[in-house]
Structure 1
Amino acid sequence: MVSNHIDTMRNPRNLHSPASAGPVEILSSLVPVAAGAANAQLDAFALRLADALMAFSEQSLESKQANLCFTGAGLLRKNTYAYYHLATSAIADALRLEMQAVLQQIPQQLRQQAPAEAVNAELALVSYEDMDNKVRLGHIARPIVTRHVELLEALNLRFAALLGRDDFQLAQNPFRPEVFLGALNAAWADFNPEAESHPLLLPLLQPEVFLDMAPILQALNDALVGHGILPALGDSYRIRKSTNYVADQKREAQIAEGLRRMLTGEGGAPAGGGMTGIADIAGGMGGIGGMGGGLPGAGAAGIPGGAGVAGNLQSQLLQVTAVSNQLMGFLAGMQKTMLDRQLAGVGSGDHGSTAVLADIKRQAPAGALSQVDENTIDLLTSVFDLVFRDQNIATEMKSLIGFLQVPVLKAALIDKDFFFKQEHPARRLVESLAQSSMEWDGASGQQAPVYQTMKRIVERVQQDFDKQMSVFSEVLSELQGFIQQEEYAATETLQAPISKALRKEKIGQATKVAKNEVALRVGTGEVVAFVETFLENKWVPVLTVAYTLQEEKPTAVQNAVSTMDDLIWSVKPKITMAQRKELLAKLPSILARLNKWLTVVKWEEADRTRFFADLAETHASIVRAPLPLTPERQLELAVAVAKEAAERRLEKQASAAPEPQPDDYDEQVKNLERGIWLNFTDAHGGAMKAKLSWSSPMKSLFIFTTHRKEQTFQLTDAALAQRLREGSVQTVSLDRLVDRALDQVFASGANDPEIAKKSAA
């Protein structure tokens, strides 16, 4: 089974029928997937970039750089659509160019049905002459790669499997962050005519400003899974950010080395055959039969000693087989006894603890257990202990999972990959049962469909498992299919709240953009006070409506923004006759557009009449101001206006409340995944469990479902983060059980002489 699994991973042709797509077609189809996921973020990215440019202009000590960034920010805000068009083209061209390099390296025998032109299409459309060099791009991309290292690694593994390679490096990945960085930088160079501003962009593309690579990489992984490429990685490579990736990798390597020493020979890899592998005999730990040391008389170049040594080896193999058969026979008897007890419905509570595994060590026939076997039992005890101690898993569910202790022990003895590979079917079944146990509400009783499904799965494993791992895979598919059907059935209940939430988020995002548009203009301090108040209180709702209508009426935003800009222009001093004539000519149109938009937002209060009266008085004073003005007087007026604007700008900045800085709880909310369960408590001590059933595209709204599927409630990202800070909400962690158990074992093993002895050389 292990060799078949490895062969399937390394030979992608085993995953497809003859009529299915070949590697060239699959890889080519990924370009529009990645481009589409990136394009969906460009509007929000342009806003973040404009904010970053504006912030840099305010902080820069060089006036030229400050002016370039200020101008660039204004240009980007006023011409977002133009930048969007350039960016989408640049991303698509860059991805096609990178993909061409990958396709050209595919061996001819893997190109199957793909026509020749699929590889030699017009891909070299973008020039990188004006980009920064690769070293600089790599430096800028480093923190982005660190944030998404797991998704990138999963994608690389799938590429390797698809192409039949042993590995696939990040530098070869056509969807690595550097490619998107380069494309956005090239789009900026085409967009901004100021050549001196081009080098200023890359340093601003920090992870907080740059595209979120997670949905892009997730879409690519999902697309490959849809073609059958390593679907088992889906549970293992989630969107998780490691704050200390290097330390995590070092820790994992230490655990893996400790496992190898406990379960095989010194420094050896896990033996696929487990109980009867020669590595268990020849290794430094003695193997299943307790045979220590290595082969007597064996030399480095072979097995000297002729027939005597060969006979000794055959004798040892026979002893190991006999002992293995004795142990497996004992476990088979225990497995049948436990199945009989489960079917009879007696003693189920006894199996909600690891007493079963302890009994095996105590009751096994003399000589049946080697040191490796005992180590395996001890490690598995730690895994089941983690399940049985978890307060989030109901007692009845613990008992069900407890009935799997003997079959899972047999699986771990047969195949030590149980401890090394997250995709091991027996390991995934235990972890999936623990996670799925949260779906059961004790109030619904043992006749609930989820309980009956899990019970049937456990009985099937106990009854059918001997040495074929396929039993675990089959029941795992059954469990996953049941959970998916339950989630699909619950989607109808969620349709109405999801529609409302999407509308709410759309309005919220539109309001945020509208406030930014107004703030960009009033922040200069040049807008007269009553117009500034009007823009902040009344024009923000106008812009919000315009942005929400952008899909249906693409010109709405441009109309609303230009009306605002014209209003601001109309109340600025006009010191020449030509400027005043222009004002008089444009004024009817400006007032008409103002009134039209204010009617849309239903502003019919007395304040509206007062505003237009003040506006008329201001316009009249501008037109009636004395003319002509001498150049000296014009300069005096300009200086006075600039001074007043600077004072008002400083006053506004001093009175503005500082923006709250995101903390770890905000980051935790951003990384919550659909399907996770959370414990909610209230001020009166009440407690409730709820599942995250949906999160909005911008992660600003979350819909939770209780065990009663018809009961749903919503929380904003800010409200959820605050409840996490207060401790009234805690996430329920039931994933990666085996990893967490092993981490605890080896963390405590540093001070445990017995563990240290077992894992030592």
Structure 2
Amino acid sequence: MAIQFTNSTFDHIDIATSHRDEILLELIDTATTTATRQLEALAIRLAEALAQEARIEPDPAAAQRYAASAGLLKKSRFPFCFAASDRIGKAFRAEIAALGVAAAHVEQLPSHSLAPDLEVDKKLSLLKEGHAIEALHAERFTALNARLGHLLGRDALSAAESPFRAQVVLDAIHEAWCDFEASKAAHHLVYPLLQSENCADFGAIYQALNTILVKRAVLPNLVVPRAEAAKPAPETNDDPVTSRLRTMFSQDSAPGPVKDRPLGGALPTLFHDDQVQVTAARNELLAHIAAIQRSGAGPIGTPSAEEGATLLSHILSTMPAEARSRENLHTIDLLIRVFDAVFRDAGMPPEMKALIGSLQVPVLKATLKDKEFFFSDDHPARRVIDLLGRLAVGWDRKAGANDPLYQTILRSVKRIQSDQRVGSFADALADLEAWVGREESAEMQALASSVVSIVRQEKTRVALKQAKYEVALRVGTGEVAAFVETFLEEKWVTVLTLAYSVKDEKPQAAGNAVKTMDDLCWSVKPKITMEERKELIARLPAIVENLNKWLDAIRWNEPERVKFFDDLAKCHASIVRAPMELSPERQLKLALSVAQKAAERRLARQAGRPPEPQPDEFDRQVKELGRGAWLQFTGKAGMKVKVRLAWVSPLQSHFIFSTAERVEAISISDDDLAKSLRQGRAAVLSLPGFVGRALAEALHADGDASFNDPAAKAA
């Protein structure tokens, strides 16, 4: 990251050793104090993470170790906090001493070694997580290293040289855990859990250190461009809903250049506090959720179908002031709309609404950590809710709780509830999609014969459509004789349909049939010059031969065939016998007459052609249908049947619906399906993208001003 200075050159200023050591000691004390204030909350989060690992660990012995460690940390977190504070302070002193500065006495503490493979994994894990934390607070961390370098009379420190890098704290917490936990078998349990959501807020630490240095006049006018400002804005093709969501969340932490304010008596605000405040508010909200779950206060059980999104509403109404950031309020408000849409879904059984509704807290935690839930259809948590919403509609209450579909959904919900991390959604999604894949594979085997037949029919329909189009191009000019027009529309369409149907096996067939049609049309046009008539006479045998070959192929042997060739021969004879040596004026009049008659015929055909129907909302509904969607059809006797879209033809012109037992129920074309929807004989119960449609509905219903003051809405 580029660092800018107000001076044209960087001149190191000699700082007295005693003054420098005094500043370094103050930095150590400030960093230690700022980190220590967060240790109790950190211990609570680690205890919960250990408990979650115990719930999902398949090995009973390992699960017992996780559970025992979680219980120990919950009961005795203050001794752990004391050990961690001591380790962190001494680690900072050791790092300062490693820079060649004798700022304070360094007391060496014994370190704990794990098994060789675990030791390597620990070092790599903490190094990687440390880099991720530093990247999250890159502006403050970079500014701190520049100021430390200036204080020490050298260039800006690299991330690896910084005594306050995140890995120092992570290592200290791991060592403190080993001091605290007497059982060596549990020493390796904590370091994999030291991720940003479970660790200290380094933004606050780096801000406090920069504040001390600016107060001490160490590069007080340092300008640090924000990381976002250094990158060009990515090009997006967002739809209106996504664009509005991006605007909404970008306003929660608006980007902009960050500049230290000059000293003016009071402590300067080194950076915009938005990211620090957002992170702190997020941690406060997570702690609030954990407190509710521990105490059992509020409706934290499985909600009934009538209750709606009461879990999220309770969290919103009881959250402390420190957690009420715009980002948190927007997140909860939008999720309330999503889950309210689940509970309002008329096609979903109440039992399924309750199961999906029980995921309110896990989804909230996932979105607090990753806002891509609102922007990306591929977010694991969003895909789980979308898939559960689609599958839930298809569950038949008569099948009961022992139904395989019910058991699959229940198993996935319990898995997410027991391990409320984003990764648990990915695991549950994999299980759900595997089950769906097995069901669809078995279903396709049952429908195989119908699919083959429909694909063949669709291929013929496509060929017919192309054939009619090619004929219409020639007939539409009005230049073709009337009897030839009739022949092309009634018989040559069949020829072209056959040719296009075998295009894959005989690629030249369609081209030959089209050329034969063009030759026929050319042959019945007036031939004014002797050269044109000679060409007609020379080409006629081949034209007639090709016509007969194709008519034999479609087996047209009726008397009308004889009459057509008789009319064709008379037409050719009249063309050849027409008066010769016409004057230029006569040729022009004849050409104009032919063109006028052609135009009149073309206009007459257009006037008699019915207008093309315009697609309506029901046609659009049909186009949006995807495999797995559920529809309800109503029979003539009023009997309703719920069916699932099992197969869509390659060109989306035909649909096969099956029952929950994989029995083919309805096979219908796109036009007939749109007609059934239009007449109310069919209704769509579920469509893909449940979450996206709920968000679009929420934003559209509330208008632009709805989310401008989330605090007022939550009050």
Task: Give the superposition deviation at 1:556.
Answer: 1.3
2:274 is aligned with 1:300: no
Query: CA–CA distance in 1 between the matches of 2:131 and 2:675?
Result: 46
Query: CA–CA distance in 2 between the matches of 1:322 and 1:659?
Result: 61
2:245 is aligned with 1:252: yes
Q: Residue in 2 aligned with 1:594?
A: 547
Alignment map for 1:231-246 (pairs within 5 Å): 245=239
Query: CA–CA distance in 2 between the matches of 1:169 and 1:325?
Result: 34
Q: Residue in 1 aligned with 2:655?
A: 702
2:495 is aligned with 1:542: yes
Q: Deviation per CA, 1:115-146: give whole Å up to 9, x if none.
A: xxxxxxxxxxxxxxxxxxxxxxxxxxxxxxxx
Alignment map for 1:661-676 (pairs within 5 Å): 661-676=614-629
Partner SS for 1:555: helix
Q: Answer yes or no: is the 8 Å Cα contact 1:326–1:368 preserved in 2.
A: no
Task: Give the superposition deviation at 1:555.
Answer: 2.0
Task: Give the superposition deviation at 1:545.
Answer: 0.9
Structure label with greater radius of gyration: 2
Q: Answer yes or no: is the 8 Å Cα contact 1:383–1:742 preserved in 2.
A: no
Q: Residue in 2 aligned with 1:404?
A: 359
2:275 is aligned with 1:331: no
Q: Answer yes or no: is the 8 Å Cα contact 1:510–1:544 preserved in 2.
A: yes
Q: Deviation per CA, 1:17-72: give whole Å up to 9, x if none.
A: xxxxxxxxxxxxxxxxxxxxxxxxxxxxxxxxxxxxxxxxxxxxxxxxxxxxxxxx
2:439 is aligned with 1:446: no
Alignment map for 1:187-336 (pairs within 5 Å): 245=239, 247-248=240-241, 251-253=244-246, 255-256=248-249, 260=252, 299-301=268-270, 328-332=290-294, 334=296
AA at the equivalent of 1:740? A
Task: Give the superposition deviation at 1:700.
Answer: 2.9
Alignment map for 1:97-176 (pairs within 5 Å): none
Q: Residue in 1 aligned with 2:694?
A: 740
Task: Give the superposition deviation at 1:461.
Answer: 3.0
- 655-664 or 515-524, which deviates more: 655-664
Query: CA–CA distance in 2 between the matches of 1:571 and 1:376?
Result: 73
Task: Give the superposition deviation at 1:395.
Answer: 1.5
2:477 is aligned with 1:508: no
Q: Answer yes or no: is the 8 Å Cα contact 2:284–2:322 preserved in 1.
A: no
Partner SS for 1:565: helix
Where do 5+ consecutive residues of structure 2 fail to align?
Answer: 1-48, 50-124, 136-229, 257-264
Identity over aligned pairs, percent: 42
2:532 is aligned with 1:563: no
Q: Residue in 1 aligned with 2:505?
A: 552
Q: Deviation per CA, 1:166-194: give whole Å up to 9, x if none.
A: 778559xxxxxxxxxxxxxxxxxxxxxxx
Match of 1:394 among 349, 353, 363: 349
Query: CA–CA distance in 2 between the matches of 1:746 and 1:596?
Result: 62
Give the structure with the higher percent helix: 1
Query: CA–CA distance in 2 between the matches of 1:654 and 1:675?
Result: 44
Q: Answer yes or no: is the 8 Å Cα contact 2:299–2:311 preserved in 1.
A: no
Task: Give the superposition deviation at 1:745.
Answer: 7.6
Query: CA–CA distance in 2 between the matches of 1:525 and 1:5?
Result: 78
Query: CA–CA distance in 1 between the matches of 2:532 and 2:587?
Result: 14
Task: Give the superposition deviation at 1:328.
Answer: 2.0
Task: Give the superposition deviation at 1:383.
Answer: 3.4
Query: CA–CA distance in 2 between the matches of 1:437 and 1:722?
Result: 27
- 689-698 or 553-562, which deviates more: 689-698
AA at the equivalent of 1:404? L
Q: Residue in 2 aligned with 1:612?
A: 565
Q: Residue in 2 aligned with 1:201?
A: none
Task: Give the superposition deviation at 1:512.
Answer: 2.1
Q: Answer yes or no: is the 8 Å Cα contact 2:282–2:323 preserved in 1.
A: no
Query: CA–CA distance in 2 between the matches of 1:620 and 1:650?
Result: 29
How many equivalent residue pairs?
Answer: 478
AA at the equivalent of 2:293? L
The change in CA–CA distance for 1:336 and 1:496 in structure 2 (over 3 A counts) is farther
Match of 2:340 among 368, 381, 385: 385
- 568-577 or 453-462, which deviates more: 568-577
Q: Residue in 2 aligned with 1:476?
A: 429
Task: Give the superposition deviation at 1:418.
Answer: 6.0
Query: CA–CA distance in 2 between the matches of 1:320 and 1:249?
Result: 22
Task: Give the superposition deviation at 1:549.
Answer: 1.8
Task: Give the superposition deviation at 1:611.
Answer: 1.6
Query: CA–CA distance in 1 between the matches of 2:282 and 2:559?
Result: 96
Match of 1:459 among 403, 414, 418: 414
Q: Answer yes or no: is the 8 Å Cα contact 1:256–1:420 preserved in 2.
A: no
The change in CA–CA distance for 1:533 and 1:754 in structure 2 (over 3 A counts) is closer
Partner SS for 1:690: strand
Query: CA–CA distance in 2 between the matches of 1:716 and 1:643?
Result: 42
Query: CA–CA distance in 2 between the matches of 1:750 and 1:168?
Result: 24
Query: CA–CA distance in 1 between the matches of 2:707 and 2:508?
Result: 74
Query: CA–CA distance in 1 between the matches of 2:423 and 2:484?
Result: 73
Q: Deviation per CA, 1:493-513: give whole Å up to 9, x if none.
A: 333333333322322222222
AA at the equivalent of 1:513? Q
Task: Give the superposition deviation at 1:642.
Answer: 3.2
Task: Give the TM-score taking structure 2 as reference length.
Answer: 0.56
Task: Give the superposition deviation at 1:541.
Answer: 0.8
Q: Residue in 2 aligned with 1:229?
A: none
- 319-328 or 638-647, which deviates more: 319-328
Query: CA–CA distance in 2 between the matches of 1:433 and 1:726?
Result: 30
Query: CA–CA distance in 2 between the matches of 1:659 and 1:490?
Result: 37
The change in CA–CA distance for 1:455 and 1:650 in structure 2 (over 3 A counts) is closer
Q: Deviation per CA, 1:288-318: give whole Å up to 9, x if none.
A: xxxxxxxx97531499xxxxxxxxx9xxx9x
2:611 is aligned with 1:658: yes
The change in CA–CA distance for 1:353 and 1:572 in structure 2 (over 3 A counts) is closer
Query: CA–CA distance in 2 between the matches of 1:574 and 1:413?
Result: 80
Q: Answer yes or no: is the 8 Å Cα contact 2:478–2:600 preserved in 1.
A: yes
The change in CA–CA distance for 1:507 and 1:431 in structure 2 (over 3 A counts) is closer
Task: Give the TM-score taking structure 1 as reference length.
Answer: 0.53
Q: Residue in 1 aligned with 2:594?
A: 641
Partner SS for 2:657: strand
Q: Answer yes or no: is the 8 Å Cα contact 1:377–1:409 preserved in 2.
A: yes
The change in CA–CA distance for 1:708 and 1:752 in structure 2 (over 3 A counts) is same
The change in CA–CA distance for 1:662 and 1:419 in structure 2 (over 3 A counts) is closer
Query: CA–CA distance in 2 between the matches of 1:518 and 1:680?
Result: 39
